[in-house]
């Protein structure tokens, strides 16, 4: 029947137009894959509820999948109740999207309480965790508390422990075996005559300087001592902090430069009130013309 109709129509219609007279398919489209539906929902949720950009949401959706809004809604409600801003929530969701499936009262609340007890304010907690949400993924009993106990035994007060955590600018200091990582360096400083008060100052205010491997740190301490800085002075630990942020080439150049300055020229600088530490700062900022003039 259809073929007969097609022949009759083709006699009155331009043959070039008969391509449009093909049968219309009645086959329904294939059903959407459930995993595709979940991924689409996850991206939509991350954009609309968490404030992520479409690009960030798509990337995050490869690490977490939401089947419904119930679990992530609980986490967002919890975070907002504890002072997290929309921007901080977006940062956290971008860096650790799997946290949106956490059980707030069971896994998140104890860690927020821990930071509060150490001495963080609500605002500091939200800022700290949004920048480094890895802390929320660590075991409180197996990782965080043992690190805290070591810091407390070394520094003495919660205030100093909180300062050390903040100065590290991330939660690494509460994630590893600090007695192994920091304890060895503390013993090196003691062996070279650095007073306990100055060790505490270094750990409290310049924690990142202790992140170098043990051999490099010991070499650093020996070289700072070689250029004539008294280990009992505060400038000694300041120098360690300055040098710890340099690569080996820059560090070796600085050691050599300060080392050859000794004698009359160094004494003159000291008489003028210019310390080794100030000289290093000037050397680091490439102001050699001023020093050599």
Mean pLDDT by 10 residues, the chain (293 residues): 51 51 51 61 96 95 94 97 97 96 96 95 95 93 92 93 86 82 91 94 85 85 85 88 71 52 46 50 44 36
Per-residue confidence (pLDDT) for residue 250, from 0 to 100: 57
Per-residue confidence (pLDDT) for residue 179, from 0 to 100: 83
Whole-angstrom distance, CA of residue 251 vs CA of residue 280 = 10
CA-CA-CA-CA dihedral for 238, 244, 249, 253, to nearest 10: 10
DSSP state of 25: P
Whole-angstrom distance, CA of residue 293 vs CA of residue 288 = 8
Task: Write the Ramachandran bin of 273: left for phi over 0, alpha for psi from -120 to 50, otherwise beta.
Answer: left
Q: Which residue has the tokens 């029947």?
A: 1
Core vs surface per residue 244-265: b (16+ CB within 10 A) or e: bebeeeebeebbebbeebeeee
For domain 37-137, the question of CATH label 2.40.50.140 is answered with no
Question: Taking Cα atoms as reference points, which of 51, 140, 66 lies closest to residue 99?
Answer: 66
Per-residue confidence (pLDDT) for residue 223, from 0 to 100: 85
Instruction: Please provide the DSSP assignment of 200-264 as one string.
Output: HHHHHH-GGGG-S-HHHHHHHHHHHHHTT--TTSHHHHHHHHHHHTS-HHHHHHHHHHHHHTTHH
* Residue 120 near residue 162 (C-beta atoms within 8 A): yes
Whole-angstrom distance, CA of residue 149 vs CA of residue 175 = 12
Per-residue confidence (pLDDT) for residue 95, from 0 to 100: 96
Kindly report the number of other CB atoms within 10 A of residue 81's CB atom: 9
List C-alpha distances in Å: 122 to 19, 116, 127, 156: 70, 7, 9, 23
**What six digits make up the tokens of 139?**
């075991």
* Residue 177 near residue 164 (C-beta atoms within 8 A): no
* Residue 179 near residue 149 (C-beta atoms within 8 A): no
Per-residue confidence (pLDDT) for residue 130, from 0 to 100: 95
Whole-angstrom distance, CA of residue 227 vs CA of residue 13 = 99
């Amino acid at each position: 029947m259809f073929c007969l109709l097609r022949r009759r129509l083709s006699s009155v219609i331009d043959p070039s137009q008969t391509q449009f007279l093909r049968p219309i398919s009645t086959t329904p489209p294939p059903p959407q894959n459930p995993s595709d539906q979940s991924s689409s929902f996850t991206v939509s949720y991350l954009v609309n509820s968490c404030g992520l950009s479409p690009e960030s949401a798509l990337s995050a959706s490869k690490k977490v999948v939401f089947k419904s809004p119930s679990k992530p809604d609980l986490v967002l409600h919890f975070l907002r109740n504890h002072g997290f801003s929309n921007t901080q929530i977006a940062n956290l969701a971008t860096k650790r999207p799997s946290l949106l499936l956490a059980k707030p009262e069971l896994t998140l609340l104890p860690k927020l309480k821990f930071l509060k007890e150490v001495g963080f304010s609500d605002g500091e907690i939200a800022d700290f965790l949004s920048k480094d949400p890895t802390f929320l993924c660590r075991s409180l009993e197996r990782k965080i508390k043992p690190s805290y106990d070591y810091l407390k035994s070394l520094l003495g007060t919660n205030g100093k422990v909180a300062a050390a955590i903040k100065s590290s600018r991330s939660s690494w200091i509460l994630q590893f075996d600090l007695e192994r990582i920091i304890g060895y360096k503390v013993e090196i400083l003691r062996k070279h005559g650095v007073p306990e008060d100055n060790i505490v100052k270094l750990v409290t205010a310049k924690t990142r300087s202790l992140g170098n491997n043990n051999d490099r740190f010991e070499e650093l301490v020996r070289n700072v001592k070689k250029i004539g800085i008294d280990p009992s002075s505060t400038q000694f630990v300041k120098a360690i902090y300055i040098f710890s942020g340099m690569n080996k080439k820059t560090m070796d150049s600085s050691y050599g430069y300060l080392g050859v300055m000794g004698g009359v020229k160094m004494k003159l600088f000291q008489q003028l009130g210019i310390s080794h530490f100030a000289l290093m700062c000037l050397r680091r900022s490439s102001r050699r013309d001023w020093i050599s003039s």
